Each structure stands twice: as structure tokens, then as C-alpha cells.
Amino acid sequence: MDNTENIANLKKQLGDEVVVVMVPFQTQSHLDPFLQFACLISSYGLSVHYLSLPTYNQDTKTRATAINPSDLANIHFHDLQMTPSPLDPDIPSEVPKHFHLFWNVTMHLRQSITSFLRDISSKSRRIVMIYDCLMSYNVQDISSFDNAESYIFNPVISAFGMYCDHIFPHVGLPIPIEQQLLQKLPSSEGWYCDEIMRISSFQVQYIGNSSAGDIHNTSQVMEGTNAFIELLGIGQDKKQWAIGPVLRPTKKEKNGFPCLDWLDKQPPKSVLYVSYDLLTSFSDEQIKELAMGLELSKQKFIWLLYDPDNGDIYLGADLKRKFEFHAGFEERLDGVGLLVRDWAPQTEILAHSSIGGFLCACDWTSCVETITMGVPIIAWPTHSDHPKNGFLLTKMLKIGLVIREWDKKRDEVVTASTIDNVVRKLMASEEGDEVRKRAKELGEAVRKSTEKGGASQMELDYFIAHITR
């Protein structure tokens, strides 16, 4: 985003009078947008401090290959210290066990964060803390500093999803969409597992009145309406800013990723990208059906396959075990599809001219990227806010198709024939071409909104003006 020059000059004069402290939740899907938001704030000349665990700080900086080095150099990284309790390896869970590790980690950072705040508060006129709501317990001491104020940044949830799933059930106000769509709106019942609800409920109780406002990784352009953003502030004396999209920038250089070289050899809009977030865990049977469905469709694809419980991509030694069910599938990969065996930059993949569709679970991070890059989606929700995000993109914005209807059980296996039909409809039909056209037009409008004078850029300007008032 381009900022306003007079605001930037003013902030450079302020120096450390106003210091911004970023406290992300300790998972990569939250760390990356927090870092990008930190760079946007830093571009106004403000001093920005980014707090995270040593390993995550190093990993985040290593992955930030597309960020301007001068922007990254202006971010002060601080390593948080902790002594976590051991994780019970036999703990039952509906979500991958590594999520419990993240939770365990982020319950032991309060002392380290408070110590940092105590030190920096004596050197600054004002501290502006921007934190993830899932870190509310750890940052609760911010209210004890007279020269500090705090704001919540919501990087991984849409305004539509937040209102429908978390606010509407409590305020009793209507959901402002057409009656025909309202009748098809998926229920949240059965999509949020107990662990996620327990974690969210625990953190929310520490928000209290300490937060002076909320920043959202979305916009009126991205969601097609400003109604839900406005509704988020109902009954609260808090300001709301919608500054999205906040996502890692793309870079023209290949950065040594073989998958991008492979994409260079494919025709425009001919490849389907397949990827899921780390909280999505498929059974071997479902992986088999997905692989067979992709093969039946005869469409080119690039598939990033994770092992959620290891937090790693596990195609190495386990590749043969996962795909031995269909003789010849591996041999056909070089000509038809590509299985990615290492971390790859999703934004760069979606921005590539050969990508014609994206099959994913509809976590909001993926939705932000696919909307911004103008790529149509095949929605396959698996948990949490995924159904609402999928509904927003496929039924309201009409830039995608659904792999199955929302009323189906989320653990019900989707057959290869179903996958085949939906993939071919998006990638090789007139209906798919129309969806792709709408997605392209929306992407262009969203990117334009981040330019000088655009809606999202103006929202960011307003936020900077507010915290430096």
C-alpha cells in the first residue's frame, strides 16, 4: 500500500514518541500477516517492535523473501522467553496435536511480554499494542501502563464470518442478506470443535475494555458490502478499521522454488492449486478419493500435502504409502500434476498466470489470497468458520463452486466422482469461465483498493492518524 506523504513525514518527526508493539498468536498463519501489517505501519516512519518466540522470529524472517529488505530492516524483532509445561502426547483431540502445542506455548508468555512493556514504556510517550485476540491472556497487563493503549488485529477471520458465528447469536440483530440466501446460510453447529471453542472462550474473557478498537483483514470491496464491518462495532465503544487485504507480497523472482518453474511450463489458467490449512486432517481414504478425483478430471494440478500432526509436509518417505493405491498415479505426476514436497509461497503460486482455480478448505487466509489474486475457488470446508467463508465466496460473491453442500457431515468422505465433476466444471466449462471472469474482476478491484486513494489505503491512513493523534 502507498501511504500519504504528509502523514509519513509527521511520523518520522515523532521518532520513538509513539512505539507500536505487535503481539501475534504463535502460528504461521497469524505470524505472517502480523509481520506484513508491521511493515505497513513501519512505512509511515513509526517504530515497530515484533514479539515472538526465537524460533518463530527466525522462521518468519526466513520466509519473508518477498518483503522489501528495507521494510524488514525497520522492524525490531524481540525474542520472547518461556518455560512451557510438557504436552501430554495422549491428549484426545478433534484437531491436530500441534495445535495443543501452540496453545501450550502461548499460555506462558505473559511475564516475558509484560517485562518488555515495562522497559519500553519508560522510553516512549505512547505505546500502541496491536495483538491477536488469542493472545489476550498474555497481554492483559497492558492496562496497567498509563501511556499504553491496545488494539486487536483479526488476521484470519472475515467480518461476515465473525458476525454470523460470534456476534449474531448474542445481539439478536438480523443478518443483512437476501432472504433467499439467508435460507441457505450454513449453520455453525457441528463445525467448531470443543478445543477451539474452549480456547476462544478463555481468551475472550481477558479482552474486557482494554482494547480501544479492532483492525480487520478484510474490506468492503473484498466482502461486497460494508454492512458486516459496521455491525461488528454494535454495542461497543470501539473503533473499527477494515484495512485488508494484508498478505505477503508477491515477488517476480522464483526464489529457488521448483514448483514455480513447473508452473512456468503450463498454459494460462490451466492448473488447479490444491492446499489446506494445518488444522485440516484428512483420512487416508479421503486422500485417496481426492487423488483419484484429480486424476479422473484430467486437469493439471499442483497439490501441497501436509501432515498436520507433524507440522511438516510429509511427502518424503510416506509418498509411496499414500499413493500406492493406484498404480501409475506417481508416474503421471510429471505430465499432469505436481506434488509439492517442501514449503512453497502460496501467494506466488496463486498469482501465477497458469493458476485457474484453487481447491481449499476456505480458511480466511486462503480466501484473502485467492480473492486478491483473482483466482476462483472450489470450497471444501472442514471446520470452524470455513462454511461461512465458503458461502461468502461461492453464494454471495459468486467467485467459486462448492465441493459439497453445507448440510453434509464434515467427516463424510467425498467421492472421487464428486471431486472429478466439480473440478471439471470449474476448469473446463463455460460456467467455470464465467466464475473465473468474476473472480478476476473482483481481484482487480481489491488490488486497486490498496492503492493511494483506495478504500483500504484510506482506512490504514485513518488508523495511523488515530494512533499518532
CA distance 239 to 211: 10
Query: Can you say whether the dihedral through the CA atoms of 464, 25, 216, 253 is positive or negative?
Result: positive
What is the pairing mode between strands 400-402 and 148-154? unpaired
Tell me how far apart the alpha carbons of residues 384 and 423 are, in angstroms, rounded to a whole number: 24
Residues tagged active-site: 30, 132
* pLDDT value of residue 311: 40
Cell of 392: 461468502
Query: Are the C-beta atoms of 153 and 135 separated by less than 8 Å?
Result: no
What are the CA-CA distances from residue 405 to residues 45, 363, 379, 410 (Å)?
48, 17, 10, 10
Residue in this structure with the C-alpha cell 470443535, named with its chain if needed: 193
Span 199-248, pLDDT tens digits: 777 888 887 666 889 999 999 999 999 899 999 887 777 899 999 999 88
Q: What is the pLDDT of residues 370-423, one digit of tens each?
A: 999 999 999 999 888 899 999 999 999 999 999 987 766 667 899 999 999 999
- Measured between alpha carbons, how far is 378 from 345 in angstroms, rounded to an integer? 20
The β-bridge relationship of strands 126-131 and 312-313 is unpaired
pLDDT band at 279 (very low <50, low <70, confident <90, very high): low
| Amino acid code (one letter) for 186 | P
